Amino acid sequence: MNRWTPGIVPGRLSSDELAAKFSDLHPPLDDHEAFVAAGRCYFCHDAPCTAACPTEIDIPMFIREIFSGRPEAAARTIFAQNVMGGMCARVCPTETLCEEACVRQEAEGKPVEIGRLQRYATDRLMGRGAHPFTRAEPTGRKVAVVGSGPAGLACAHRLAMAGHDVVIFEAREKPGGLNEYGIAAYKTTDGFAQAEVDWLVGIGGIEIRTGTALGRDITLDELLDMFDAVFLGMGLAGVNALGIPGEDLAGVEPAIDFIARIRQAKDLAEVPVGRNVVVIGGGMTAIDAAVQAKLLGAEHSTIVYRRGPGRMGASEYERELAAARGVTIVTNARPVRILGQDAVEEVEFEYTVETGDGRLEGTGETFRLPADQLFKAIGQKLEGVPGGIELENGKIRVDAAGRTTRERVWAGGDCVAPGEDLTVSATAQGRDAAASIHSFLMGEG
């Protein structure tokens, strides 16, 4: 069955219009703007912003280095803790992490622009092409990394820096994982995800084999036979089902597939979009899908979430961004059925209430929304877990160092429990697992 409905067509807007709409969400700071922004920092000794950063970047230090005219030194301070600092500066929800903890936010309601300052510094150093780290003498040890998303890349970089040889196995045709396929195009423009991968592997000792999936093309046992250790960072490939009638109709698909299609399009005018788009979910994926549908020319783009706005995974900033782009957000409503002959035409929802113990109950009152395109954004799930790997709440169980229940196998990123679905958290987990793997390989633990 054709996945498109008659209302889903490409070219609702011209290529030039789309280029303008999908331009950089936060344009880079120039030298003067960066100096002024850095000057607002109090350079706190006991910095709450650093404590709020999952990778524990010394934020006052790098901002002071920018303020003193040394942006490349600032970038080294950032990369020492977070080698994916360039992407994190673009996509991290800084408004709920470092910037929310900023003393300026507490005092004035306007934090230091930490994310934009981080981008200013990292772009400056990466623009030179030189890698800020040197590789240690080869150890003769080999590590396999499954998945080239933030966790896998961060792990591979740290291991290569320590002198180990790393081979990354990536199921898709391009490396980058979530950064390449799962983030709104207006958040990471000009092919930055691939440029970052190329820059990162410039340290040497890292080989990337694309089109090679664990379970399909190679097994964990084979990897353990060929390598001294294995890191699993394959993310979440499965998509949760709505479990309601009509889910198999044309025009219904995972939101993550729509986002990936936009990211890989050579011309955005070639990406089909409906007139009436409905997105079910409340996280960042739902926001990214709904906003981009509207930017592509959808007349109506509506997010429907089953609980209240305060329970949405997307931050208040992202919700406000969606509203500013013309997206309607409906809360306290859950889908009950999808209506249509061969393709989706309407979606029926039931209003909900949350009980005192957090359970969700339907009120019996329903309403319908017209839809020729429906995106599911209710979370993803782990698929194809190798034997001997114990799970916890449907994800890989690991200890504080990232070790799984199978010997010589570590894991990190979205595939592990509990997982936070954040680039910066995945990067921290990959980095920390690399330290544990290195200790093991060198006979230290």
Distance CA 264, CA 90 (A): 18
Pair 389, 317 in one domain? no
State the CATH number of the domain containing residue 92: 1.10.1060.10
The answer to whether position 132 is within a domain reads no
| pLDDT attached to residue 445 | 62
Asked if residue 223 has pLDDT above 90, the reply is: yes
Pair 226, 274 in one domain? no
Distance CA 6, CA 88 (A): 39
State the average pLDDT over residues 204-213: 97
- For the chain, how many residues are written? 445
| Strand spans (E) along 223-371 | 229-232, 238-239, 252-254, 276-280, 300-304, 328-330, 333-339, 346-354, 360-370
Of the pLDDT bands very low, low, confident and very high (cuts 50, 70, 90), residue 1 is: very low
| Cross-strand bridge partners of residue 352 | 362
The answer to whether position 62 is within a domain reads yes
The answer to whether position 433 is within a domain reads yes
3-class secondary structure, 408: coil
End-of-domain residue from the set 127, 158, 181: 127
Pair 368, 420 in one domain? no
The answer to whether position 247 is within a domain reads yes
Pair 69, 176 in one domain? no
The answer to whether position 6 is within a domain reads no
Nearest of 393, 93, 181, 421 to residue 281 by alpha carbon:
421
DSSP letter, residue 172: S
Pair 153, 168 in one domain? yes
The answer to whether position 2 is within a domain reads no
Pair 355, 244 in one domain? yes
Of the pLDDT bands very low, low, confident and very high (cuts 50, 70, 90), residue 356 is: confident
Asked if residue 203 has pLDDT above 90, the reply is: yes
Domain of residue 232: give its range: 142-237+382-441
| pLDDT attached to residue 155 | 98
Pair 233, 246 in one domain? no
Pair 372, 402 in one domain? no
State the average pLDDT over residues 99-108: 94
Distance CA 137, CA 142 (A): 13
State the average pLDDT over residues 112-122: 97
End-of-domain residue from the set 81, 103, 127: 127
The DSSP element (H or E) to which 142 belongs, if any, is strand 142-146
Pair 245, 346 in one domain? yes
Distance CA 387, CA 219 (A): 10
The answer to whether position 15 is within a domain reads no
Would you put residue 413 in left (φ > 0), alpha (ψ -120 to 50) or beta? left
Q: Is residue 86 a contact partner of residue 187, using CB atoms and an 8 Å limit?
A: no
Pair 292, 330 in one domain? yes
State the average pLDDT over residues 199-227: 96
State the average pLDDT over residues 174-202: 96
Number of domains into which the chain is organized? 3
More confident residue, 151 or 420: 151
DSSP letters of 33-72? HHHHHHHT----TT-HHHHH-TT---HHHHHHHHHTT-HH
Nearest of 22, 125, 110, 29 to residue 71 by alpha carbon:
125
State the CATH number of the domain containing residue 200: 3.50.50.60
Question: What percentage of the chain reaches a pLDDT higher than 90?
Answer: 91
pLDDT digits (tens, 9 = 90+) for 136-156: 999 999 999 999 999 999 999
State the average pLDDT over residues 230-256: 95
Of the pLDDT bands very low, low, confident and very high (cuts 50, 70, 90), residue 195 is: very high
Burial category of 264 from C-beta neighbours within 10 Å (exposed 0-12, middle 13-18, buried 19 and up): middle
Q: Is residue 338 a contact partner of residue 252, using CB atoms and an 8 Å limit?
A: yes
The answer to whether position 435 is within a domain reads yes
Burial category of 324 from C-beta neighbours within 10 Å (exposed 0-12, middle 13-18, buried 19 and up): exposed
Pair 306, 423 in one domain? no
| pLDDT attached to residue 2 | 46
Helix axes 316-324, 284-296, angle to 10 degrees: 10
Pair 396, 278 in one domain? no
| pLDDT attached to residue 391 | 94
End-of-domain residue from the set 376, 401, 425: 376
Q: Is residue 268 a contact partner of residue 15, using CB atoms and an 8 Å limit?
A: yes
pLDDT digits (tens, 9 = 90+) for 377-419: 999 999 888 888 999 999 999 999 999 999 999 999 999 987 7
Nearest of 45, 39, 93 to residue 66 by alpha carbon:
39
Asked if residue 44 has pLDDT above 90, the reply is: yes
